[in-house]
Amino acid sequence: MRNILSIFKRDLKGYFNSPIAYVVIGLFLIVTGIFFYLLLSSFLQYSYAAMMQRQGVPLNVNLMMIRPFLLNMSVIILFMIPIITMRSFSEEKKNGTIELLLTAPLTNWQIIIGKFLATYLLYLVMTGITVLFMALLFIWGDPELAPILIGYFGILLMGAALIAAGNFISSLTENQIVAAVGTFGLTMVLWIIGFASDFAGKIVGAILEYLSIVAHFEDFSKGVFDTSHLVFYLSMTFFMLFLTYQSVESSKWRA
């Protein structure tokens, strides 16, 4: 555990000692803030129109605002993950420090888990700040808490799977740009594959839809917790970590 914490602290310090963490967090908050403002403005306009027409139908802020916001945030995350994970192993290879790690009294799993946790904590900080947007809704409105908690739980699960995938891609190359582009390509495939299911046969379409990483988040955004989605995200996370282990092990043999 001590070795994992050492890798974790080392990588986390590397993120926040460079502009990467601040640029990523700032950019993410700007984009998500714009979407939140647009959704809030639309909701307020609709509420005002309903009030002027004296309609007695209550407006559901969870359905009309929070769910679209979470769905938009899940898509934005697809573009941010490659930036977060691109330096995880690539920078080590470029600087030649990967050999020091591989020859140190550390196991491959300790290195992989330590790096994963450091990257994941950055992700938690990035997405966690958006809770302030939800706090504004509670100050001036009355949204349901449970769907929001389930939605953010889905965000955490999806992020874990994508970060594990990004770390795997980063372990394959010493070029951070290549790692970012490769991760971006993988996340796009995992997103677009869900749309391809509409044009495939029944069996193939069901398989493609199951492999869509965003499709599994839709129920979470509705406030619906389904264990099948939990199993998918956890399985993908562990599978990508396993592939990273194989990649690191092969690097050790080549070294």
User: What Cα–Cα distance (Å) separates residue 180 from each residue in 68, 85, 224?
Assistant: 27, 7, 32
What's the gap between Cα 20 and its chain centre? 16
Query: What pLDDT, in 10s, does the model give residues 118-174?
Result: 999 999 999 999 999 988 888 777 788 889 999 999 999 999 999 999 999 999 988
Q: Is the pLDDT of residue 102 over 60?
A: yes
Q: Contact at 8 Å (CB) between 238 and 162?
A: no
End-to-end CA distance of the chain: give it in Å, rounded. Answer: 26
Q: Contact at 8 Å (CB) between 35 and 72?
A: yes
**Amino acid at position 103, single letter:** T
Query: What pLDDT, in 10s, does the model give residues 61-97?
Result: 777 788 999 999 999 999 999 999 998 888 888 887 8
Tell me the whole-structure pTM to 2 decimals. Answer: 0.90
Quickly tell me which residue has 């914490």 as its tokens: 5
Counting the structural domains of the chain, the total is: 1
Q: Is the pLDDT of residue 26 over 90?
A: yes
List the domain range (segments joined by +) for residue 139.
2-254
| CB environment 32-51: b (16+ within 10 A), e (fewer) | beebbeebbeebeeeeeeee
For 133, the enclosing helix (H) or strand (E) is helix 131-140
Question: Which is nearest to 106 in space by CA: 35, 7, 26?
Answer: 7
Q: Is the pLDDT of residue 12 over 80?
A: yes
